[in-house]
Chain A
Amino acid sequence: METTGTSGMVMTKTVEDMDVLAETASRAGAHDVKVAANKVSVFYGEKQALFDVSIDIPARQVMAFIGPSGCGKSTFLRCINRMNDTIDICRVTGRIEIDGANVYDAKIDPVLLRARVGMVFQKPNPFPKSIYDNIAYGPRIHGKAKAGSEMDAIVEKSLRRAGLWNEVKDRLREPGTGLSGGQQQRLCIARAIAVNPDIILMDEPCSALDPIATAKVEELIDELRERYTIVIVTHSMQQAARVSQRAAFFHLGYLVEEGETERMFTNPSDQRTQDYITGRFG
């Protein structure tokens, strides 16, 4: 495959698109497409950060975005729940469809979108409130549950799903900021789960955690895959290999390659992907 020079890049992309189509066809029926991005470009003022990214994210799988720093993977992740709206100079073109509806459509309210697309951030960021209130906040503002036993049930269910219930059930009234880093991150995952989303976006969720806490979060991600579509941005190749079924490699704002994780790590079709995976740059 031709991979050098600018013309090569365009060519690769075309080939790559065809690969995607072929792969999508091969797994037809096994998984529905949850998020379909079509020619998404992102501009920060004059500077273009993302170039015509088109990708299908299947439901109930873990999709990992990998690539060197500044490659646009976080930027793309934050387009999916329109977190980029909070940045004044940020402009997004193209379509991102969730279950067939374009999230950048004028009819779509970002508040409702973010209730369906939860997000977990790089640094654990629990509210400086009690563990209970951290979980209950989302359902409360969306009017999903009344205070009392109904809310208690949601809090318990969310904490159980995040694997945190047994550790915190006796101290739900204590501040969430008093937990350890790994527990805080799982609390944030529980907080995202509490509003009952379809999709959970994770922006390097383990980069601030130690290996043991990381293992727990990865285990959790694997369990969550049964109910939720998960998109995770990670710097760690090993992590991508461990938790994801599919992976997408971003480089310099382009989506270089996308496919099943196993295939991509053993037999990447693009030279740049191979260079990155084998550690030649990054």
Chain B
Amino acid sequence: MSDNSAAKIRTGTWYEPDASLKRRYAADKRLRMYGVAAIVFALGMLTILVGTIASTALPALTQTHVTLQVELPAEAIDRSAPRSAGYQKMLADTISQLYPEVDTPRELRQLRQLFTNNAQYMLRDMVVADPSLIGQTIDFTFPMSDIGDQLHKGGIDRNLPPDQRRVNDEQIGWYDRLVEQDRITTPLNTGMIFNADSRFPELAGLSGALVGSFYALLICFLVSFPVGISAAVYLEEFAPKNRWTDLIEVNINNLAAVPSIVFGLLGLAVFLNFFGMPRSAPIVGGLVLSLMTLPTIIIATRAALKAVPPSIREAAIGVGASKMQTVGHHVLPLAMPGILTGTIIGLAQALGETAPLLLIGMNAFITAAPDSMFNPSTALPTQIYIWADSPERGFTSRTSAAIVVLLGFLVCMNAIAIYMRKRFERKW
């Protein structure tokens, strides 16, 4: 008997898959493929996004520094007032000694452009911090300027005609001489975290934005967490179910969908104009962000409260717990993991929110970290916004680096959320 005839004999038995069954399986398979394709697409986009940001940010990991031997003549520095000595001249003398052939003012200016503008203040701070340096010749290491940095990192194409690049041939020659003399180093760019903002990319850092964001989030948490939980507990556990509470519920849900810039306008009108709170201050930013975060926390808390099984409430009420005790001792602790997750998601959203902060002036150019939450400051997303808008080449990589920092914080916050949730789950 051939295979063919065997197949014919089996035709019509109950276990023989017919065409419609095959079509069903094909449809199943197709549907699964769509799902896999969608995930691959999403993951691919994510990889491209993260890859682009990371590769753009990579140059900002280091900052090109130059080391010069600077003479600090004892007669030029008054030991009782080392602040007021002529450090600019000392630096200029040092540079002139390195490049004796440069003498026209124009060339001198172009030469100085290779080094950061603030080198003289760094030298001054060094001497003020350690007066024993006076009278010595010291190795002074300080950042190159943006164009020096770009020359070193290959951000400037030397093959372009001079009128199409930002440095001329002389500047390239001067820079190459520094490399020959082994004066160039590229240490880790710690200034990126510890410096405040600056017009010069080589000096710009995130400390102001980090402190500002920290204060704003702190305010946001302190306001929205207790208020959100109280509102949710009242609405879910105590409020009578009538038209008014329905109206409130609908409004809270709608509030979550209000564009964030509207909250910014509200903050501008209410907190700044009406209450006269300080402009650009993290306290106002935090209050505006807490308005935005409130609906998220209320909705998450209500969902978490709803998820607590009614049998637990009955058990507590059955042994004579009051309504408040039932909620406080049993329902709320059981709902806490869900509440914390919702809160941290809300805070993460607030951390990345830009539009409302722009409206209350947290995109100001501020070159020092705020001392308190009442001082002007920027926040991480607004700092990214400012840097992305800056023309200097060095800000390109720094913008991406700031995005990496922001993403890092978001990842950390989510990790904390997961950790806390696990901890609570184990306890209960």
| A associates with B | yes
| A residues lining the B interface (CB < 8 Å) | 81, 83, 86, 88, 111-115, 118-121, 123, 125-129, 137-138, 141-142, 188, 191-192, 194-195
Complex CA–CA separation, A136 to B325 (angstroms): 14
Contact of B320 among A115, A121, A127 (CB under 8 A): A115
CB contact between B319 and one of A123, A128, A137 (< 8 Å): that residue: A137
| A258 CB to nearest chain B CB (Å) | 25
Q: Which B residues, 317 to 354, have Cβ-Cβ distances below 8 Å to chain A? A: 317-322, 325, 329-330, 334
Q: Is B270 an interface residue when CB atoms closer than 8 A count as contact?
A: no
A83 touches B318 (CB 8 A): yes
Q: A88-B240, A88-B241 are in contact. Are A188 and B315 (CB under 8 A)?
A: yes
Write the nearest CB–CB distance from B60 to chain A, whole angstroms.
49
Contact A114 B320 (CB under 8 A): yes
Q: Is the CB of A138 within 8 A of B311?
A: no
The minimal Cβ–Cβ distance linking A118 to chain B, given in whole angstroms, is 7
Q: In the complex, which of the residues A114, A120, A126 has the most CB atoms of chain B within 10 Å of its own CB atom?
A: A114
Known: A86-B314, A114-B318. 18 other contacts (CB 8 A): A83-B314, A83-B318, A115-B319, A119-B318, A121-B314, A121-B315, A125-B312, A127-B316, A127-B330, A128-B334, A137-B316, A137-B319, A137-B321, A138-B319, A141-B320, A141-B325, A141-B329, A142-B320
**Would you call B311 and A123 a contact (CB within 8 A)?**
yes
Taking a contact as CB atoms closer than 8 A, the residue among B317, B330, B428 that contacts A86 in the complex is: B317
- Within 8 Å CB of A112, what residues of B? 320
Q: Which A residues are in CB contact (< 8 Å) with B311? A: 121, 123, 125
- In the complex, the answer to whether A121 meets B313 with C-beta atoms within 8 Å is no
Could you say which residues of chain B place their CB within 8 Å of the CB of A88? 240-241
Which residue in B240, B322, B334 is a CB contact (below 8 Å) of A111?
B322
17 A-B contact pairs sorted by A residue (CB < 8 Å)? A115-B319, A118-B318, A118-B319, A121-B315, A125-B312, A125-B315, A126-B315, A127-B312, A127-B330, A128-B428, A137-B319, A137-B321, A141-B319, A141-B321, A141-B329, A188-B315, A191-B319
**Complex Cα–Cα for A194 and B428 (A):** 22
Q: Considering the complex, give the chain A residue whose CB is closest to the CB of B308.
A: A128
Instruction: Give the CA-CA distance A86 to B316 in the complex, in Å.
Output: 12
**Hey, which chain A residues are within 8 Å of B240, CB to CB?**
88
Contact in complex: B241, A192 (CB < 8 Å): no
Closest 7 CB pairs of A and B: A125-B311, A138-B319, A119-B318, A115-B320, A114-B320, A125-B315, A128-B428
Residues of A close to B320: CB separation below 8 A = 111-115, 138, 141-142, 195
- CB of A192 within 8 A of CB of B317, answer no
Bound together, the chains give a CA A188 to CA B314 distance in angstroms of: 12
For B428, list chain A residues within 8 Å (CB): 128-129
In the complex, what residues of B have CB within 8 A of residue A118's CB? 318-319
Contact partner of A81 (CB less than 8 A), chosen from B318, B325, B330, B334, is B318
Residues of B near any A CB (own CB < 8 A): 240-241, 309, 311-322, 325, 329-330, 334, 428
Most buried by A among B314, B318, B334: B318
**Known A-B contacts A86-B313, A127-B312; A192 and B318 likewise in contact (beta carbons under 8 Å):** yes
The binding surface of chain B is classed by DSSP as: helix
A127 to B313: give the CA distance in the assembly, Å: 9
- In whole angstroms, how far apart are the Cα atoms of A141 and B316 in the complex? 10
* Chain B positions within 8 Å of A113 at CB level: 320
Q: Is the CB of B318 within 8 A of A111?
A: no
Q: In angstroms, how far is the closest chain B Cβ from the Cβ of A80? A: 12
Distance (whole angstroms) from the CB of B278 to the closest CB of chain A = 47
The residue of chain B having its C-beta at the shortest distance from the C-beta of A142 within the complex is B320
Q: How far is the CB of B367 from chain A (nearest CB, A)?
A: 53
Enumerate chain B residues within 8 angstroms of A114, measured Cβ to Cβ.
Answer: 317-320
Q: How far is the CA of A114 from the CA of B334 in the complex (A)?
A: 23
Residue in B closest to A85 when the chains form the complex, CB atoms? B317
Q: In the complex, what residue of chain B is closest to A177 when comparing beta carbons? A: B428
Smallest beta-carbon distance B426→chain A, Å? 10
Closest Cβ–Cβ distance, residue A232 to chain B (whole Å): 15
* Closest CB in chain A relative to B325 CB, distance in Å: 6
Instruction: Give Cα A188 to B316, complex, Å.
Output: 11
B97, chain A: closest CB distance, angstroms: 77
B307 CB to nearest A CB, Å: 13
Query: What are the residues of chain B within 8 A of A188 when measuring CB–CB?
Result: 315
Measured between beta carbons, the chain B residues less than 8 angstroms from A83 are 314, 317-318
Name which residue of chain A comes closest to B330, CB basis. Answer: A127
Inter-chain contacts of A127 with B (CB < 8 A): 312, 315-316, 330
Contacts of B241 in A (CB 8 A): 88
Write the chain B residue with the least CB distance to A82: B317
Q: Which chain B positions have C-beta within 8 A of A119?
A: 314, 318
Return chain A residues, CB-CB under 8 Å to B315. 121, 125-127, 188, 191
Minimal beta-carbon separation of B108 from chain A (angstroms): 77
**Distance between Cα atoms of A47 and B70 in the complex (Å):** 96
Nearest-CB residue, chain A, relative to B325: A141
Smallest CB gap from A115: residue in B: B320
Q: Closest CB-CB distance, A134 to chain B, in whole Å?
A: 9
In the complex, residue of chain A having the shortest beta-carbon distance to the beta carbon of B425: A128
B316 cross-chain contacts in A, Cβ below 8 A: 127, 137
Give the CA-CA distance A115 to B321 in the complex, in Å: 9
A81 cross-chain contacts in B, Cβ below 8 A:
318
Nearest Cβ on chain B to A240's Cβ, whole angstroms: 22
Please give the distance in Å from B226's CB to the nearest CB on chain A.
24
CA distance A201 to B274 in the complex (A): 60
Max chain A Cβ within 10 angstroms of own Cβ: one of B240, B315, B320, B334: B320
Q: Which of A88, A127, A195 has the most CB of B within 10 A?
A: A127
Q: Which residues of A contact B319 (CB under 8 A)?
A: 114-115, 118, 137-138, 141, 191-192, 194-195
A138: chain B residues at CB < 8 Å are 319-320
Residue of A129, A137, A192 ringed by the most chain B CB atoms within 10 A: A137
User: A194 CA to B320 CA in the complex, in Å?
Assistant: 11
Given the complex of chains A and B, what is the CA–CA distance between A197 and B318 in angstroms?
Answer: 11
